Structure 1
């Protein structure tokens, strides 16, 4: 029988980490998955050698208090080492890694911005980056679609979640419409209408999922707008944005490697990067 790995939360006591902790706790409880909370005492390299800021036990105590009414049976632990190395190693035995969009760190705010970017690129499991939703109470999951395998997996993840939560799902295929070149003989601009092709791609991407998840309210939109901008705009009225870690590339439409990174910066709701 396959082992169900727990959800892993990177926790540092910051407000965004508190949000991530609660989001992960609710996700774990709803799915019957274990929860593992990790605090890393980060090793800092200085001119005088390695130094460690020992604060893990204190921070972990705060995590335990926060989980009392969410998931008191969670496993809490501290590690000493480099944050990224420890989290990536731990991700190998996790079903998902959850982090806040920003946290505490060596400078004024740990760029869990940079931690989330690195995790999204290199973790071996899905990564959730939690921030407050712009529209409180929204019940709409937005999914970026480009016809790639990972975007199909992103849509499947969204629909499984929607079956559980009752949220609706909006599948969006966005692309940058390039300005057509000019015909040198007639001086008339060439017209490139890619909308029919894009609508077919989206319909084919969604068809199988509709059959597998008939109870999910699933809408689809093909939008000729740069993908990061389109998905970031859509996230303003979403409860969750889901994208694949990598897409088909420039000629496939979404550059989801760069799109996933872009929406991590610009989204206005929690983001899940699926692989």
Structure 2
């Protein structure tokens, strides 16, 4: 296993949920190996349930089926494993050294019960590696479709920008840095106009600085800026839709306005309604 490995979490809906196809596409672009992971949730149930004696055999067959699918479509190497435990924590714990973990936005287990959805959000919160959440029936976008990154400050979302650059370079795509801002609703009349104008100037200068720093760090990558006033989730969803973006990246575990929203109460809004895959990239804290 290497740091470049692409892990993909699968369940019974893998043929439809987009994760395997996105991981396959990324594997071909990056020439990286893929790890196929399926988690058997072996936690005891509070109420009686039907135990399927062949669950592990079925899980192994599922992973083998995905492996055969990859063999038919790619020459890149792959491996597979069946894990046991709570799905979100198990996937997060098993992929700490992978380059990324790819999961479907929705999925179903052996008995047809919903697994992904809440699992996707939980994995995105707990994982130490980048998590790419793929919508159902995903198909590749044009290679030059922009990669969108929601930004506050680089110290809060630098990891997301770095990860975006690695993906954009593979695709030959530009990066669009989207910054959402707003002012408190307590202001009225002329005071409100002055406050909004000052805030707009401040955020414009702030985004210009971020773009300059990104261009200096990555001179071979095309960066553009998109400044929007309003709610962070609605602003990001609109930016992605209007740009026909192929991927949206946001940072995590920080107190920035956009980023805290992603892993807070509005996480469902982004993960469930974005029209393209969403990558959550946690900012690693410096070790003291």
TM-score with structure 1 setting the length: 0.85
Question: In the alignment, which residue of structure 2 is the partner of 1:64?
Answer: 67
Q: Number of aligned pairs?
A: 269
Q: 1:110 aligns with which of 114, 135, 145?
A: 114
Alpha-carbon offset, residue 148 of structure 1: 4.6
Q: Which residue of 2 aligns with 1:129?
A: 133
1:238 aligns with 2:245: yes
Aligned partner of 2:151 in structure 1 is 145
> Is the aligned partner of 1:224 residue 2:229?
yes
> What value does the CA root-mean-square deviation take over the aligned residues?
2.9
Q: If each structure's helix is expressed as a fraction of its own residues, which one has the higher value?
A: 2
Structure 1 segment 71-110 matched on structure 2, within 5 A:
71=75, 73-105=77-109, 108-110=112-114
- Describe the superposition over 1:135-157 as per-residue Cα deviations: whole angstroms up to 9, x where unpaired: 95371111101115242221222
Q: Secondary structure at the match of 1:43?
A: coil
| CA apart distance, 1:120 | 0.9
Deviations 1:11-47 (A, max 9, x none): 1131566621121123233324331101122225333
| Superposed displacement of residue 86, structure 1 | 2.0
- Give the secondary structure class of the aligned counterpart of 1:45: coil
Q: In structure 2, what is the Cα distance between the partners aligned to 1:255 and 1:106?
A: 33
Alignment partner, residue 162 of structure 1: 168
Structure 1 gaps of 5+ residues are none
Measure the CA separation in 2 of the matches of 1:21 and 1:93: 19
Q: Map Cα deviations across residues 236-266 of structure 1 (whole Å, 9 max, x no partner).
A: 221000110134345x896453365531122
Change in 2 beyond 3 A, CA 1:189/1:109: farther
| CA displacement at 1:173 relative to structure 2 | 0.2
In the alignment, is the contact (CA less than 8 A) between 1:247 and 1:257 conserved in 2?
no
The two structures have a TM-score, normalised by structure 2, of 0.81
Unaligned runs of 5+ in 2: 283-288
